[in-house]
Amino acid sequence: MLHFFLSENGQTAHVIDQKHKGAASKVAAGGINPITGKRFVKSWKIDQLLPMVRSTYGKLQEQLRIPIFTERSVFRILKHPAEENTWLGRTADPLYQHYVENDPSVGAFNSNLNPYLSAGEIKLGGQVNLPLLIKTYQNFLSENEQITFDQFDYEQLKIGEQIRYKNLEAKKIIFCEGAAADRNPFFNYLPFELSKGEALEVDLPEGELEKIIRHKISLVPFGGKKFWVGSANSWDFEDDLPTDLAKAELEGHLKELLSCGYEITAHKAAIRPTVKDRRPFLGSHPKHPNLLIFNGLGTKGASLAPYLAEQLVGFILDESPIEKEVDIGRYFSHFQEEH
């Protein structure tokens, strides 16, 4: 995303990526849900994020000639009167009207669902095919010799007026290693609070679905009879590999949701770059201004990345300020304590 915005602004950039199979972006559903959680509140900054989502993925679709972004409503199943009350209360709020579909329905797919009390529907959500986007963009970079597939070796970085790394020379380097940033010697003072997420890919016997269904888990259409089911979350983990415990949890929720059978075709896990205060990490290193970070996208990389990448590129090229909430300057005291 940063490469895209830098190119749009006439800059050249080189990407170094170790093609980690368990990268969060390769496991994510890429879902965008404007109203989330048990209290059905607007997702952080969603009113500003959505226009950027549409224009940026739209431009990428055109440039790469692949379908990346699909508009999808989110069909929220309500099983208890308390849930229904909260939904009705929230949807009466004029600030939410824009997102509420008055006639919720999943059409014929309803026959695959266990009985429920009622449902609400959230408009203007969507889904980004992140694995396809990454693969296609990497191929494009490869053709233009703008990517090196390798693990970054921090010891080989030479910081001066210019940044030097092996045979590369640049004005700046931006680290965007996702959860692996806790191994970055320059930025590991930042308070990440990493979380592991697991998901299943399943085939259902029949039923076309255009919407995302949500109750405890999300059921996201992946084309034809393929669906993504997730996620199971854990704050206590030793690696980024799939676990039996999470699989059992996901299957439990899936059986509660579906009346039809399913076949599991894949089980994936990844560590999300989640942050203690749930806000991303953007900005330059307190001591080395030409070292920057773009991280902490947490559970919402698909919707946050366009808005924040544009902001970081504006900061680099025009010195436009980074919003305080996401600026790593808010953790300067952590840096001082450790250095």
Ligand X SMILES: Cc1cc2nc3c(=O)[nH]c(=O)nc-3n(C[C@H](O)[C@H](O)[C@H](O)COP(=O)(O)OP(=O)(O)OC[C@H]3O[C@@H](n4cnc5c(N)ncnc54)[C@H](O)[C@@H]3O)c2cc1C
- The residue among 22 and 207 lying less far from ligand X, judged by its C-beta, is 22
Stretch that binds ligand X, among 65-73, 99-107, 191-199, 245-253 (CB under 6 A): 191-199
Neighbour order of strands in the sheet with 291-295: 173-175, 291-295, 281-284
Provide, rounded to whole angstroms, the least separation between the CB of residue 120 and ligand X: 19
Instruction: Look up residue 328 and give its DSSP letter.
Output: G
- The residue among 120 and 242 lying less far from ligand X, judged by its C-beta, is 242
Considering only residues 8, 9, 12, 18, which one is a binding residue for ligand X as defined by CB under 6 A? 18
Considering only residues 2, 6, 27, 258, which one is a binding residue for ligand X as defined by CB under 6 A? 27
Q: Say how many residues touch ligand X, by CB under 6 A.
A: 36
Q: Give yes or no for residue 197 binding ligand X (CB under 6 A).
A: yes
Considering only residues 7, 14, 20, 116, which one is a binding residue for ligand X as defined by CB under 6 A? 20
Distance CA 194, CA 196 (A): 7
Residues 126 and 71 sit within 8 Å (Cβ to Cβ): yes
Cα R_g (the chain), whole angstroms: 21
Q: Give yes or no for residue 73 binding ligand X (CB under 6 A).
A: no
Q: Give yes or no for residue 53 binding ligand X (CB under 6 A).
A: no
Sign of the dihedral defined by the CA atoms of residues 79, 80, 83, 85, in that order: positive
Provide, rounded to whole angstroms, the least separation between the CB of residue 287 and ligand X: 20
> What residues are paired with 128 via a beta bridge?
69
> What residues are paired with 269 via a beta bridge?
198
Stretch that binds ligand X, among 2-10, 25-33, 163-171, 258-266 (CB under 6 A): 25-33
Site for ligand X in 238-277 (CB under 6 A): 270, 272-273
Distance CA 45, CA 307 (A): 10
Q: At 223, which amino acid appears?
A: G
* Alpha helix segments (H runs only) across 230-325: 244-257, 301-318
Neighbour order of strands in the sheet with 31-32: 31-32, 126-128, 69-71
Q: Give yes or no for residue 125 binding ligand X (CB under 6 A).
A: no
- The residue among 232 and 258 lying less far from ligand X, judged by its C-beta, is 232
Please give the angle made by the CA atoms of 149, 199 and 252, to the nearest 5 degrees. 165
Helix %, strand %, coil % for the chain, to 5? 35, 25, 35
Provide, rounded to whole angstroms, the least separation between the CB of residue 26 and ligand X: 7
Provide, rounded to whole angstroms, the least separation between the CB of residue 225 and ligand X: 20
Residues 1 and 306 sit within 8 Å (Cβ to Cβ): yes
Q: Give yes or no for residue 323 binding ligand X (CB under 6 A).
A: no
Q: Give yes or no for residue 39 binding ligand X (CB under 6 A).
A: no
- The residue among 80 and 158 lying less far from ligand X, judged by its C-beta, is 158
Q: Give yes or no for residue 28 binding ligand X (CB under 6 A).
A: yes
Site for ligand X in 288-307 (CB under 6 A): 295, 297-303
Residues near ligand X (CB under 6 A) are: 16-20, 23-25, 27-31, 151-152, 176-180, 197-199, 230-231, 270, 272-273, 295, 297-303
